[in-house]
Structure 1
Amino acid sequence: MNCKIFSVFVIAALAFLTIGEGLSLRGVGVDLRCRCIETESRRIGKHIESVELFAPSPHCKDTEIIATLKGTKKEICLDPSAPWVKKVIEKFLANKSL
């Protein structure tokens, strides 16, 4: 009987630790998947307030570009292969290096 109680306790403790570890990764800003599911390729350059670049990682093989729009503060994923997005990134990197 004590063996069964001990086994249930160990299983419950392991489950709790596993769930807690997964939650703690999100709490420190580690995403376990890609942020961008869809990307925007239409020209919206004049509406962009800021741009964030996310390099490929173990959880996402893609380079992700997320733009925050003026006024609404809405975040939109940009298509890194679109020519106008490449220009926005060049400008962003040039300003960042100053």
Structure 2
Amino acid sequence: MSLLASRGPQLRMLLLGLLLLPAVVAFATAGPEEEDGELLCMCVKTTSRVHPKHITSLEVIKAGRHCSTPQLIATLKNGRKICLDRQAFLYKRIIKKLLES
């Protein structure tokens, strides 16, 4: 206890910091679905105006805890990623082909 008395506030702050460290680490590593129950969709803005010949790959993200709606992300030949509109004819046609295969 003499060490605690001689170092005073500095040692107390160090001990308090060590006690709070696990809580800080747990808060900093929380995933997006754990933050206040918010839904974090990748597709905030969507488009229906894209020609299929410009698409190099597609990524389908199913609805889940992270987002309440399914998302279709197209990677274009120029490397840009865009989100396709769920109500667009192209989106519906792509989903139909994916389900058939």
TM-score, normalising length: structure 2: 0.67
Structure 2: stretches of 5+ with no match in the other structure: 1-7, 33-38
Give the C-alpha shift of residue 73 in structure 1.
2.2
Matched with 1:58 is 65
Structure 1: stretches of 5+ with no match in the other structure: 27-31
Root mean square deviation of aligned Cα: 2.5
Distance between the aligned counterparts of 2:96 and 2:82, measured in 1?
A: 18
Distance between the aligned counterparts of 1:35 and 1:62, measured in 2?
A: 10
CA contact (8 A) 1:45 1:88 kept: no
Q: Which amino acid aligns with 2:52?
A: G
Give the C-alpha shift of residue 66 in structure 1.
0.4
Larger radius of gyration: 2
Give the C-alpha shift of residue 48 in structure 1.
1.3
Distance between the aligned counterparts of 1:59 and 1:88, measured in 2?
A: 23
Q: Which amino acid aligns with 2:90?
A: W
Deviation track 1:28-87 (CA, whole Å, cap 9, x = no partner) reads: xxxx721111001124222112211111111211110001112x1221100011112211
Number of equivalenced pairs: 86
Cα distance change, pair 81–11 in 1 and its aligned pair in 2 (3 A): same
Deviation track 1:7-44 (CA, whole Å, cap 9, x = no partner) reads: 3321233212321x23xx48xxxxx7211110011242
SS in 2 for 1:65: strand
Q: Which segment is superposed worse, 41-50 or 4-13?
A: 4-13
